[in-house]
């Protein structure tokens, strides 16, 4: 039976990959397709739109409207292909050497496709499956909080949540959190030979990034030797930076974006407090020279970590389906599982594909992982019949 489900899941995956749901774009076309697909089984879901209606979360209950169901959660957005060298069309699933290539095949449209393929099986259960799709996970897990709140308000209490990030179908019980910030510097333009007549936003930004680099180095000394995370400490990196208009002009504007990823038990706001104080001091110094100058910082996201719960109910349940008897795993990337857990849902990560293939040119998932994901959905459907 799982071979049939795998084939159906692959067909749905081809459709889902065909929607360019890069985070900067709308995901509504994909959501509309899922709604139409589910309507064919007599299932009506609920949209949870963003503020301007250009994107939407979506969830639907498959099976009886009772407590004790299982949430299968996946994000609909994908990362950009900009600047990547692809061997085939990123928006068309292409099979090569036992691998399915395409943007989102691994992260994480295969999980969504297999959950949708299993809908007829889930409808036979005594307990439901709640299929939940979010937007803007890749840019800070921005959509999930409203999705989770709506599920909590409108769905009979589920037993647990499975976030289908690519884990090679291993059970992952913990992940780091992420605090994403953008820093903007406004300088005062002048000829680059006359530095006393202006302020280079670039030079100010470089100084601030240097302080972050020192902070990042210092975080290594705060590592917990018993941490399940690799690396075992919080990490800080500057992922984007820009500024200036010409080499001989003191830059008027500069910006950079950095992320701080903390394991459970470490507070990113506490870690960043000295840097924020430095931002305020530099801002005051610049304004004292030129009133229009200054430094501002905006927190773009603050996604909580998922703290491992030893022998928790979600872990035990999912291990019983996967047969995974290995040690508990924790990952250093951030995901929406921490948000589900913070809302009171027992939660783990488990999905087909590998995070090592995510975000890469020629992103791929193996056919073997599709088969394993299909078998998982079959076993879940069987368990919910009991």
**Options 107, 136, 137, 165, the catalytic residue:** 137
CA 253 to chain centre: 30
CA–CA distance from 299 to each of 183, 204, 268, 270 (Å)?
9, 19, 11, 14
Write 292-298 long-range contacts (CB < 8 A, 24+).
292/186, 292/188, 293/186, 293/187, 293/188, 293/199, 294/185, 294/186, 295/183, 295/184, 295/185, 295/186, 295/204, 295/208, 296/183, 296/184, 297/181, 297/182, 297/183, 297/184, 298/181, 298/182, 298/184
Q: 141 with 37: CB under 8 angstroms?
A: no
Q: Which of 72, 154, 74 is nearest to 106 (CA)?
A: 74
What is the Rg, in whole angstroms, of the alpha carbon atoms belonging to the chain?
23
Beta bridge partners of 174: 330
Exposed / middle / buried, residue 343 (Cβ in 10 Å: 0-12, 13-18, 19+): middle
DSSP code per residue over 171-196: -EEEE-EEEEEEEEEE-B--BTT-GG
Is residue 333 within 8 A of residue 351, CB to CB? The reply is no
Nearest to 351 by CA among 49, 81, 98, 109: 109
Q: Which of 14, 20, 52, 77 is catalytic?
A: 77
Annotated active-site residue 77? The verdict is: yes
Which are the catalytic amino acids? 77, 137
């Amino acid at each position: 039976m799982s071979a049939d489900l795998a084939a159906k899941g692959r067909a749905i995956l081809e459709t889902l990959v065909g929607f360019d749901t890069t985070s900067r774009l709308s995901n509504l076309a994909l959501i509309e397709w899922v709604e139409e697909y589910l309507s064919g089984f007599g299932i009506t879901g609920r949209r949870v739109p963003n503020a301007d209606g250009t994107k939407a979360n979506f969830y639907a209950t498959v099976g009886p409207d009772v407590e004790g169901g299982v949430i299968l959660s996946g994000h609909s957005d994908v990362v950009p292909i900009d600047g990547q060298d692809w061997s085939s069309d990123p928006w068309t699933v292409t099979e090569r050497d036992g691998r399915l290539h395409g943007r989102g095949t691994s992260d994480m449209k295969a999980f969504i496709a297999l959950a949708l393929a299993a809908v007829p099986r889930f409808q036979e259960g005594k307990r439901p499956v709640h299929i939940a799709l979010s937007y803007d996970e890749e840019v800070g897990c921005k959509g999930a909080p409203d999705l989770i709140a709506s599920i909590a308000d409108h769905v009979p209490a589920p037993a647990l949540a499975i976030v289908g990030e690519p884990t090679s179908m291993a059970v992952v019980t913990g992940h780091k959190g992420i605090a994403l910030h953008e820093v903007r510097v406004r300088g005062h333009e002048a000829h680059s030979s006359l530095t006393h007549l202006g302020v280079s936003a670039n030079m100010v930004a470089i100084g601030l990034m240097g302080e972050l680099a020192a902070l990042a180095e210092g975080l290594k000394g705060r590592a917990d030797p018993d941490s399940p995370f690799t690396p075992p400490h919080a990490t800080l990196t500057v992922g984007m930076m820009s500024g200036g208009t010409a080499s001989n002009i003191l830059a008027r504007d500069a910006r950079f974006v950095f992320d701080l990823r903390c394991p459970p038990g470490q507070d990113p706001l506490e870690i960043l407090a000295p840097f924020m104080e430095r931002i305020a001091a530099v801002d005051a110094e610049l304004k004292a020279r030129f009133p229009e100058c200054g430094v501002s910082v905006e927190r773009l996201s603050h996604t909580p970590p998922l703290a491992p719960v030893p022998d928790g109910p979600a872990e035990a349940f999912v291990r019983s389906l996967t047969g995974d008897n290995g040690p508990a795993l924790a990952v250093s990337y951030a995901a929406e599982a921490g948000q589900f857990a913070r809302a009171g849902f027992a939660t783990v990560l488990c999905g087909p594909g590998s995070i090592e293939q995510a975000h890469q040119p020629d992103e791929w998932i193996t056919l073997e992982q599709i088969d394993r994901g299909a078998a998982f959905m079959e076993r879940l459907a069987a368990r919910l019949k009991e």
